[in-house]
Chains A and B, each alone.
Chain A
Amino acid sequence: MLKYIIPTMMLMPLTWLSKNNMIWINSTLHSLLISLTSLLLMNQFNDNSLNFSLVFFSDSLSTPLLILTMWLLPLMLMASQHHLSKENLTRKKLFISMLILLQLFLIMTFTAAELIFFYILFEATLVPTLIIITRWGNQTERLNAGLYFLFYTLTGSLPLLVALMHVQNTVGSLNFLILQYWVQPMPNSWSNIFMWLACMMAFMVKMPLYGLHLWLPKAHVEAPIAGSMVLAAILLKLGGYGMLRITLILNPVTDFMAYPFIMLSLWGMIVTSSICLRQTDLKSLIAYSSVSHMALVIVAILIQTPWSYMGATALMIAHGLTSSMLFCLANSNYERIHSRTMILARGLQTLLPLMATWWLLASLTNLALPPTINLIGELFVVMSTFSWSNITIILMGLNMVITALYSLYMLITTQRGKHTHHINSISPSFTRENALMSLHILPLLLLSLNPKIILGPLY
C-alpha cells in the first residue's frame, strides 16, 4: 500500500515547490500516473482478499472504489482550474493540498483493515471536505451547508465509535481479516438492537438515507466543483462501503432491523426522483438524483443477497462516474452563464455541439440505459428486491420511469429548444473541459464491456 500512499503524500511537496505556471500541470499529471498504478490492485490472487499487511488490505469490493478515488483526483484538478485562476498562488496551492489530503485519507479508508483505523479516517475525510466547501464555495449559504454537513455526519458517526469499542472489548479484535472468522451471531436483544443502530446510522447518514438527506443538497450545491465531484463520487460511497463491511458483524439482527430502513429508502427513492422533476437549479437536480440512486444502494445492501451485493457495488461505481460527470457539465454551464438556473441557459446544442454530446451521454447513463453498468447495477438490485418481495417491482419500475423523466427533462431544457439571447456569445468548450468529460465517460463505457470487475466479492 505504501506504493500508493507515499506518492500521494509526495504530491503535496510537489504542489508547494513547483514553479508558478507548473502547479496544475505537475499535480494533474502526477496524480494521473498514480491513478494508473492503482490498476495493479486488480490482480487479486484469490477470492478472499489481497493483504498487504496487518493494516492494509484490499479485496474486490474496495478495489473498484479505490481505483475510482485515484482516478478522480486528476479530474478534480482539471475541473477546478478555471474558477481558481483568479485566486492568488497560495490559495491555489492550499486548495490543491486539501484535495491531496482528502485523497490520502480516502485511499487509506478504503484499504483499512482495522475498523477503528477506518473510523478515524472516515471522520478525518470530513475535515478537508468541510474546508473546501466553506472556504471556496460560491455563496453565503455555504456556511450553513458546511454546518449541516459536519453535524449530520458527526452525530451519526459518534455512536459508531462506541459500538466499535464494544466490539473490540467483546470480540477482542477489530481487524477485518480476523473478524471474518471470529464473529458470532448476535442474539436478539434490546442492547443488540441499539448496537445495530449505532453501527449503521453513521453510514446511513453518509449514503444518505432519505430521512437524513438534508445535508446533501446543501453541501453539493454550495461546494465548488471539485468538492461536488468528490462528494458525489466518493464520499457517498464511503457510506455504502462501510455498510457492506459492518454487516459482517451484525447478523442476524439485520434481518428484522433492516425493515424500516428498506421502507424509508424505497419511499425516499421515489420522492427524491419526483423532487428532481420540479427543480429549477441544475446542481440541486443532480444532488437529489444522487440521493435517489443511493437509496437503491441502501435497499440492496440491507436485503443481503449475493445479487443485491453485486448490484450495489456496480451501482456505486457507475453512479460515481455519472454523477461526477453531471456536476462537471453543470459547472461548465455555470462558468459561462454565472447562474445555475436551468431556464436561463437553454438551447446549448446549437452553440456547443460537442458538449451536447457529453450531456447526452451523461443523461443516458444517468437514466440507466443498457448496456451501461448503471443498468447492470440497477437491474441486479431490481431483480433481487423482486425476489425478496414481489411488490417492490412496482416501486422500482416507477423510480426508473421518473429517473428517465428527469434526466431527459434536464437534457432537453439545457440542450434543446431555442437558445436564450444572452448566451449568444459564450466561449466555446475548452479542450480541458472536453478532456474532462471524455475521461469520465470512457471508463464508464469501457466497463460495460467487462463489468465483472466491479461486481464485488460475491461475483
Chain B
Amino acid sequence: MFRRALRLRLGPCLSGPGLGTYRGGSTVDWDGKVSKIKKIQSIFPGGAWSPLYDTSHLPPERSDVVIVGGGVLGLSVAYWLKRLEKQQGAIRVLVVERDHTYAQASTVLSVGGIRQQFSLPENVQLSLFSAEFLRNINEYLAVVDDPPLDLQFNPSGYLLLASEEGAAIMERNVKMQRQEGAKVCLMSPEQLQKKFPWINTEGVALASYGLENEGWFDPWCLLQGLRRKLQSMGVLFCQGEVTRFISSSSHMESASGEQVTLKRIHEVHVKMDHSQEFQPVECAIVVNAAGAWSGQIAELAGVGNGPPGTMQGTKLPVEPRKRYVYLWHCPQGPGLEAPLVADPSGAYFRREGLGNNYLGSCSPTEVSSVGSGCRRRDGERVSLRSQASWEGPTRVLMSQSPLALNWGLFPPSPCPPRGPTKEMGDVWICPCVLDISPIPTSPYQEEEPDPGNLEVDYDFFQEKVWPRLAQRVPAFETLKVRSAWAGYYDYNTFDQNGVVGPHPLVINMYFATGFSGHGLQQAPAVGRAVAEMVLEGHFQTINLSPFLFGRFYFGEKTQEHCIL
C-alpha cells in the first residue's frame, strides 16, 4: 500500500531515492546537491512531476476478476460474467491483452469454421449452443445505436470423409450427434459422387455431411462485436503483459490425511508495453484464457511447481503449435456448394469468397509419442494429424518466402498427381494402411513447425498438402497458391481437448484454454460454462466436468477422435 501511494506521488521517477531518505545533511554545498534531489527537481518549472500522476493508461488497482488474454475465449468469459451477474455492475471485470493488434492471436488467424461433428457429446453440445449464439448474435451482442453485426456466416456445412476402417466409428459418432440434436447425415460414395461431382470418392467408404448450423464465419467480426458489447457493459480493457502473480499459500490437510498446499492469487502484475512500468492489480479471481501462451501464465501462477507425478507437479500441458493455412486459386475448382471437406488423410479445404479461391491445410503428423502415434487396429480414426479444425482465414499475412506465391511463378502445367508416398518415419499418408506398429524414430520436431515465429513454409504445401488435396479433388491438380499465413493452436498435448474450470490447488485460477484448434467455435458456450463456474460454483447448462484440470493428474483422457 505504501508502494502504491509512493508511486502515486512520485510518478515515473520510481528509481530515484525513496521518500524517506534524507539527502545530504549539510547545507554547505547548495547548488549541486539541491538540483539533484528528485522532489525539488520535479517541482521546478518544466519538471515532469505532478502530484496526481496520470494513470489513465494503467489498469485499475483492483478488480474482482482479471481475465488474462483478450481473444475470443477471454472476451466470451467476460461477456457471460457480466450477463449472468444477478445485478448490473455487481462484478468488476478486467481483460488484460498483450497485443491489441491481435497480430499473433489464434482467434483472428483461424479458418473460422464451426461444426457439430465431434465424437464427444460435450463437444457437440458446446458447438450447438455456439451455433445458436452465432445465429442470434444480434440479440446477444446488441449495443444501442450501433450497427448490427454481420458475421458472414456461410452455412455450407462440413463434409468428413471416412475410409473403410473409420466407417463404423463415423456411423456411431453420427448417431450420437443426432441424439444430441445436430443435423448430420451419412452419405454413401455414390450419393457423394452425385451431390459433389468434383470429389474423387476413391478410398472413401462413408461420409458425414452437416446440414445445419455448420459452416464458417468471420472471427474478427465476432471479436469486434464482443469487444463493443463488453465496453458497453462496463468491462475494463487494458493493454499489458502479465508478468507476475503474487499469491499466498496455505498448508492444509485433505480428508485422507495428506498434506496439500493451496495457493491463492492476490495480485496480478501487469506490465506496460515498452516500459518498465507495471501495475499490481488486486483481484479475487484470475481466468487464464491466454491461448497458446496459457502454459506460461500457468507456470507464473505456480501450476506445476512440485515433484512430478503429484497434483502439484502437474503442469498445464498447453503449448503453442504452429499451423499453416494456404490460400489458392483454382479456376476449375468446386463450386459454391462446396462444404469444408476433410480428407481422411488430414488435409482439409474450404471455399473462400466467390472467385474460386480456396483455403486449406493439413496438420503435421503427430509422432511425438508412441502411444498417441499409433493407429489402432480396430480402425479407430487416427488422431495422428491432429486437431485440424484450424480454421480461420480472414487475415492474410504475406510471406517472404521466395518460393511464395505470386502468381506467375508456378509452372502453368499441372503438377503430376501425387499418390500415396512414403513419408519420413514410415508413416503412410494414405489412411488405407492399417499400420499398427508404433511409429518409430522420427522426432516430431521434423514434422512440427517451429513455433518460435509465424513464418510460412511453402514446401509443406508442396509436399504434404497438395498431393492429398489433388488426390481427393482432381480439379486441384492445377492451382496457384496466392498466399498463406500461419497461426498458433493452443495445443493440449494430453488429449487435444479444452481445459475448463478451476485448478484444484491454485484456488482462484480458472482455465478456459487448450482447445487445440476448435476453440473459436466453442467459445460462446465455454465462456458461459466458466462464468457459471465462477458465479455459481458448478456447471449449470452444459456439464464440462470431463474437461476439468484434474484429468491431467488422474490420467483420464477425454480424447476427441473426430479431429479435423
Residues of A within 8 A of B (CB): 87-88, 91, 135-136, 138-140, 143, 278, 280, 337-339, 341-344, 347, 418-422, 424-425, 427
Q: Are B1 and A87 in contact, CB atoms less than 8 angstroms apart?
A: yes
- By a CB distance below 8 angstroms, the chain A residues around B1 are 87, 136, 138
Tell me the smallest distance from the CB of B499 to a CB of chain A, in Å. Answer: 15
Q: Is B264 an interface residue (CB 8 A)?
A: yes
Query: Residues 124-163 of chain B: 1 if any A CB is under 8 Å from the residue's CB, otherwise 0?
Result: 0000000000000000000000000000000000000000
Q: Are A138 and B91 in contact, CB atoms less than 8 angstroms apart?
A: no
Offer 27 A-B interface pairs, CB within 8 angstroms, sorted by A. A91-B2, A136-B1, A138-B1, A138-B62, A139-B61, A139-B62, A140-B61, A280-B87, A338-B62, A338-B282, A338-B284, A341-B91, A341-B284, A342-B90, A343-B85, A343-B91, A418-B537, A418-B538, A420-B537, A421-B502, A421-B533, A421-B538, A422-B285, A422-B507, A422-B508, A422-B534, A427-B250
| A-B CB contacts (within 8 Å), total count | 74
Q: Are A338 and B266 in contact, CB atoms less than 8 angstroms apart?
A: yes
Query: Residues 473-512 of chain B: 1 if any A CB is under 8 Å from the residue's CB, otherwise 0?
Result: 0000000000000000000000000000010000110000
Considering only CB atoms, which chain A residue lies closest to B265 in the complex? Answer: A338
Q: Is B92 an interface residue (CB 8 A)?
A: yes
**B92, B282, B284, B535, most chain A CB atoms within 10 A:** B284
C-alpha spacing A339/B535, complex, angstroms = 13
- By a CB distance below 8 angstroms, the chain B residues around A421 are 502, 533-534, 537-538
Q: Are A338 and B2 in contact, CB atoms less than 8 angstroms apart?
A: no
Tell me the smallest distance from the CB of B221 to a CB of chain A, in Å. Answer: 32
- By a CB distance below 8 angstroms, the chain A residues around B533 are 421
Residue in A139, A278, A420 whose beta carbon sits within 8 Å of that of B534 in the complex: A420
C-alpha spacing A419/B89, complex, angstroms = 21
- By a CB distance below 8 angstroms, the chain A residues around B252 are 425
- By a CB distance below 8 angstroms, the chain A residues around B535 are 343, 420
Q: Is B52 an interface residue (CB 8 A)?
A: yes
- By a CB distance below 8 angstroms, the chain A residues around B92 are 341
* A280-B90 contact given A341-B64, A420-B534, A421-B534, CB 8 Å threshold: yes
* A339-B250 contact given A136-B1, A421-B533, CB 8 Å threshold: no
Q: Are B250 and A344 in contact, CB atoms less than 8 angstroms apart?
A: no
C-alpha spacing A269/B508, complex, angstroms = 39
C-alpha spacing A343/B55, complex, angstroms = 29
What range describes how many residues of B lie at the interface? 35 or more
- By a CB distance below 8 angstroms, the chain A residues around B62 are 138-139, 338
**A91, A339, A347, most chain B CB atoms within 10 A:** A339
C-alpha spacing A139/B282, complex, angstroms = 10
Q: Is B379 an interface residue (CB 8 A)?
A: no
Considering only CB atoms, which chain A residue lies closest to B508 in the complex? Answer: A422
Q: Report B61-91 residues with CB < 8 Å from chain A CB.
A: 61-62, 64, 85-87, 89-91
Q: Is B536 an interface residue (CB 8 A)?
A: yes
Considering only CB atoms, which chain A residue lies closest to B264 in the complex? Answer: A425
Q: Are B89 and A280 in contact, CB atoms less than 8 angstroms apart?
A: yes
The 9 nearest A-B residue pairs measured at CB:
A339-B284, A280-B90, A422-B508, A425-B262, A421-B537, A339-B64, A420-B537, A425-B507, A338-B284
Tell me the smallest distance from the CB of B11 to a CB of chain A, in Å. Answer: 14
Q: Is B283 an interface residue (CB 8 A)?
A: yes
Query: Residues 42-73 of chain B: 1 if any A CB is under 8 Å from the residue's CB, otherwise 0?
Result: 00000000001001000011101000000000
* A419-B283 contact given A87-B2, A280-B90, CB 8 Å threshold: no
Q: Are B536 and A344 in contact, CB atoms less than 8 angstroms apart?
A: no
- By a CB distance below 8 angstroms, the chain A residues around B61 are 139-140
Residue in B8, B90, B283 whose beta carbon sits within 8 Å of that of A343 in the complex: B90
Q: Is B5 an interface residue (CB 8 A)?
A: yes
- By a CB distance below 8 angstroms, the chain A residues around B282 are 138, 338
* A420-B536 contact given A339-B64, A342-B90, CB 8 Å threshold: yes
- By a CB distance below 8 angstroms, the chain B residues around A143 are 52
* A140-B55 contact given A341-B90, A343-B90, A418-B537, CB 8 Å threshold: yes
Query: Residues 2-21 of chain B: 1 if any A CB is under 8 Å from the residue's CB, otherwise 0?
Result: 10010010000000000000
- By a CB distance below 8 angstroms, the chain A residues around B52 are 143
C-alpha spacing A344/B285, complex, angstroms = 9
Q: Report B519-564 residues with CB < 8 Å from chain A CB.
A: 533-538
**A87, A419, A421, most chain B CB atoms within 10 A:** A421
- By a CB distance below 8 angstroms, the chain B residues around A138 are 1, 62, 282
Q: Report B247-284 residues with CB < 8 Å from chain A CB.
A: 250, 252, 262, 264, 266, 282-284
C-alpha spacing A138/B284, complex, angstroms = 14
- By a CB distance below 8 angstroms, the chain B residues around A347 are 537
Q: Are A337 and B284 in contact, CB atoms less than 8 angstroms apart?
A: yes
Q: Are B64 and A418 in contact, CB atoms less than 8 angstroms apart?
A: no
**A143, A337, A420, most chain B CB atoms within 10 A:** A420
Tell me the smallest distance from the CB of A145 to a CB of chain B, in Å. Answer: 14
Tell me the smallest distance from the CB of A222 to a CB of chain B, in Å. Answer: 12
Tell me the smallest distance from the CB of B517 to a CB of chain A, in Å. Answer: 28
* A422-B502 contact given A138-B62, A343-B86, CB 8 Å threshold: yes
C-alpha spacing A427/B262, complex, angstroms = 11
Tell me the smallest distance from the CB of B55 to a CB of chain A, in Å. Answer: 7
Tell me the smallest distance from the CB of B239 to a CB of chain A, in Å. Answer: 19
